[in-house]
Amino acid sequence: MPIIAATDFSPDSEAALIWAGRYAALVGAPLTVLHVIHDPADAAGFYRSEKGDAPEAMSDVAVRMMSEFLDKVCNANPDLASIQAAVPELVAGLPATRIVEVAEREDAQLIVIGSRGLTGLSSILVGSVAERVAQIAPIPVVIVKSRKGCLNQ
């Protein structure tokens, strides 16, 4: 039964992946690193780079971002074999529901996700994918914040 580490490539997701990698190593579970490509129906499915290049499909950009993210985390944590062996997965859809669907499909034992920890009006207006995943997931969810010192515990 794998552990799902959901990522949006943020520092919080990096902290969550490191936590998930350490936990996976402790319990001997495989690790899946999941990114949901959020392609809203009312927006084009393309990104235009800051360099002014031709627009790129969101899925192509996500593949590149996943590769760069995993390279960065693997290089910074060469001792974590579970992260080195992690299986990347990209799916399209609404992040919270797709994370839970993938976890159910893979019969995952745990979902690990980063959170920026917004509170008050910011949380209400922006919403929290991590909070929504915790509400709807039928399995345990660990929410990790990246703050100085939390990765060394």
DSSP line for 44-63: -SEE--TT-PPPEEHHHHHH
Q: Is the pTM of this model over 0.75?
A: yes
The CATH number of the structural domain formed by 3-152 is: 3.40.50.620
d(CA 140, CA 23): 13
pLDDT at 123: 45
Annotated domain spans of the chain: 3-152
Tokens (6 digits) for 32: 């899946």
pLDDT at residue number 60:
84
The answer to whether residue 149 scores a pLDDT higher than 50 is: no
| Average pLDDT over the chain, rounded to an integer | 84
Using DSSP bridges, classify how beta strands 31-37 and 87-92 pair: parallel, antiparallel or unpaired: parallel
